[in-house]
Structure 1
Amino acid sequence: MGKQALLVISFGTSYHDTYHKTIEAICEDLRAAFPDSAFFLAYTSKMIIKKLKKRDGISVMTPAEAMEAIVAAGCDEVLCQTTHVINGHEFYGMLHELRPYLDRIPSIKIGRPLLSSHEDFEAVTDIVLNQIPELSPVDAAVLMGHGTEHHANAAYPAMDYYLKALGGGRIFMATVEGYPTLDDVIAHLKAQHIRRVTLMPFMVVAGDHALNDMAGDDPDSWKNRLSAEGFDVNCMVKGLGELPEVRALFAAHLQHAVDLKELK
């Protein structure tokens, strides 16, 4: 029997507190699920890798560097779990980095991103709903997703639909870089005569977007934009990766990992 590697690939973060609560916690859960595997961690964000090295002297590998280390360790099987939310640019860029190693490692299997099936949407909706305080008729919750120009952005309006269908119609999804936008959501909030809004990140890591773009003091932060529109705003800064139920979904995805050759 050969040697198996467990490779966790994340976009990454330069915030140490949220790293320990999210990425590290996911890694620990996956290592517990696959205790006999050699462990490796990689980030897809070269900007974050560079920042950690320069600021803190911390070295984190890229996916390609991790695969070189796995080859050097003599592994002939790789189980790879991404911590990405959707099947977008970051996910497919990761696959592009891994494909050349199919000639050097007999088996490379991939655990899909968080939102990859109808069952995932239902499960994540239930998990999110359990995090939201009880809402009165004048209360609403707004989740901040990242968003993308990739067609996988469709996951966010789909998630918005699931949240509304199962959450009573006063839970909204908006994105930083895609659709729906915060302006779209503000129009719905006003139409429903909402007065109080709870903001929450819909991201695995509560990093720069959550701390600054959502809850920061800049006039353009979502908190201040909503306040300027007359809403009372409360922020819950907690990454999805902090939730054991979300980490369990990632572990389940890895248990049902797909051969890299089958992913197009």
Structure 2
Amino acid sequence: MHKVFALCVGLVLLCFSGSVQAGAISYLPLKHQHLQERPAIVLCAFGTSTRARVTFEYLYRKIREAFPGYEIRWAFTSNIIREKMNQLYAQKGLSQRLYSLHEVLAGLYAEGYRKVMVQPLHVFPGLEYETVVEVAQRFPDLRIVVGEPLLFRWEYVREVLSVVEKEFLPPKEGLNILVAHGTDVTSQGANMTYLGLDWLVRHRYSNVLLGTVEGVPGGEEVLEEAQKYPGKRVRFIPFMLVAGDHIMHDIMGRNQGSEKSWREVLEAAGKKVDCVTIKLNRKIYYRGLGLYPEIAEFFVKQIQRGLEILKNY
């Protein structure tokens, strides 16, 4: 009987001892996440799978110089570009990867950031820019400021024209065509900017037209007008951040099958055609807007403004 009683007491003590240990573990102090003091900067672009990626490298250098000590990340809005490049990186065994804005914001939050300056590198305030704003507005628990795209205000439009007009041929030599992307969605608000820009260049210059690859003013109409211009030369000025696939193939391509490039159409009409280029690291690239130092400075100022807002936000 005494042995049974002793055994029961031992079991009770053992259970009590176990419960104390379990309780002690549950009351250990929790580790709090370290929060970052400075905001992070996210550069958000459409993306490209071409050698024109040098544009992003150029812009990164300029922005990194302006904001030492800040964490700078890239986000890309094109699902197609991200998928294509990520497959390519995987095939090459590279750890490099392109991320969406949502993925980048989630990563920054996990790393302790609570303030983020998102700078769109889009030229026109179109669908891609609106998507950036929507993602930023809906992302929880982050204070996010979204900067303005390049042509968000008419004063910006005039400033950009002042930058690229140094590339223009004189009226006696020939015609200049600003090549923009365009949108095939008629209800998209960016069409106002495209049509307003077309009106502006026609009234500001005697030998400058605007043409878009996927919208209005359309390529067919612009090429017809270019063929009628008395000068022998036609110069294309990329009015896109990156002079990538559209410029390389739709505009300046050769021998691509039944559909002729803009260059081939004009050369068949007897015009001498060229496109603005730039030399970087001893290589020649078509020059998109992102390869002008003045455009890089525009984005730097937008980021500076956003960081100032975040100080009080």
TM-score, L = length of structure 2: 0.75
Q: Give, in angstroms, the shift of residue 138 of structure 1.
A: 4.7
Which of 173, 178, 181 is equivalent to 2:215? 178
Q: Give, in angstroms, the shift of residue 64 of structure 1.
A: 0.4
Which residue does 2:62 correspond to in 1? Answer: 29
2:63 aligned counterpart, secondary structure:
helix
Instruction: Return the alpha-carbon distance in structure 1 between the equivalents of residues 266 and 238 of structure 2.
Output: 15
Q: Does structure 2 conserve the Cα–Cα contact (< 8 Å) formed by 1:124 and 1:246?
A: yes
In structure 2, give the amino acid aligned to 1:127.
V
Which residue does 1:140 correspond to in 2? Answer: 175
2:73 aligned counterpart, secondary structure:
strand
The equivalences for 1:151-166 within 5 A come to: 151-166=189-204
Which of 253, 256, 269 is equivalent to 1:229? 269
Which of 9, 18, 23 is equivalent to 2:52? 18
Instruction: Return the alpha-carbon distance in structure 1 between the equivalents of residues 122 and 216 of structure 2.
Output: 18
2:167 aligned counterpart, secondary structure:
coil
Instruction: Return the alpha-carbon distance in structure 1 between the equivalents of residues 85 and 152 of structure 2.
Output: 30
In structure 1, give the amino acid aligned to 2:128.
E
Larger RCO (CA under 8 A, 6+ residues apart)? 1
Q: Does structure 1 conserve the Cα–Cα contact (< 8 Å) formed by 2:119 and 2:148?
A: yes
Q: Does structure 1 conserve the Cα–Cα contact (< 8 Å) formed by 2:147 and 2:302?
A: yes
Q: Runs of 5+ in structure 2 lacking a partner?
A: 1-35, 91-95, 277-285
2:40 aligned counterpart, secondary structure:
strand
Q: Does structure 1 conserve the Cα–Cα contact (< 8 Å) formed by 2:121 and 2:149?
A: yes
Instruction: Return the alpha-carbon distance in structure 2 between the equivalents of residues 191 and 222 of structure 1.
Output: 15
Q: Percent identical across equivalent pairs?
A: 29
In structure 1, give the amino acid aligned to 2:84.
K
Q: Does structure 1 conserve the Cα–Cα contact (< 8 Å) formed by 2:171 and 2:207?
A: no
Q: Does structure 2 conserve the Cα–Cα contact (< 8 Å) formed by 1:112 and 1:257?
A: no
The equivalences for 1:32-43 within 5 A come to: 32-43=65-76
Q: Give, in angstroms, the shift of residue 56 of structure 1.
A: 2.8
Deviations 1:134-193 (A, max 9, x none): 424250111210001222122223223333333x31011100111111222234334442
Which residue does 1:249 correspond to in 2? Answer: 298
For these two proteins, the number of residue pairs brought into alignment is 254
Q: Does 2:170 align with 1:130?
A: no
Which residue does 2:6 correspond to in 1? Answer: none
Q: Does structure 1 conserve the Cα–Cα contact (< 8 Å) formed by 2:178 and 2:211?
A: yes
Instruction: Return the alpha-carbon distance in structure 2 between the equivalents of residues 156 and 227 of structure 1.
Output: 26
In structure 1, give the amino acid aligned to 2:141.
R
Instruction: Return the alpha-carbon distance in structure 2 between the equivalents of residues 141 and 169 of structure 1.
Output: 10
CA 1:138–1:182 in 2, change beyond 3 Å: closer, same or farther? farther
Which of 43, 47, 55 is equivalent to 2:80? 47
Instruction: Return the alpha-carbon distance in structure 1 between the equivalents of residues 163 and 120 of structure 2.
Output: 19
Instruction: Return the alpha-carbon distance in structure 1 between the equivalents of residues 217 and 42 of structure 2.
Output: 33
Q: Runs of 5+ in structure 1 lacking a partner?
A: none
CA 1:38–1:183 in 2, change beyond 3 Å: closer, same or farther? same
Instruction: Return the alpha-carbon distance in structure 1 between the equivalents of residues 306 and 39 of structure 2.
Output: 14
Which residue does 2:151 correspond to in 1? Answer: 115
TM-score, L = length of structure 1: 0.89
Instruction: Return the alpha-carbon distance in structure 1 between the equivalents of residues 64 and 173 of structure 2.
Output: 44
In structure 2, give the amino acid aligned to 1:4.
P
2:198 aligned counterpart, secondary structure:
helix
Based on CA coordinates, which of the two structures has the bigger radius of gyration? 2
Q: Does structure 2 conserve the Cα–Cα contact (< 8 Å) formed by 1:10 and 1:83?
A: yes
2:118 aligned counterpart, secondary structure:
strand
Instruction: Return the alpha-carbon distance in structure 1 between the equivalents of residues 108 and 274 of structure 2.
Output: 45
Q: Does structure 2 conserve the Cα–Cα contact (< 8 Å) formed by 1:3 and 1:74?
A: no
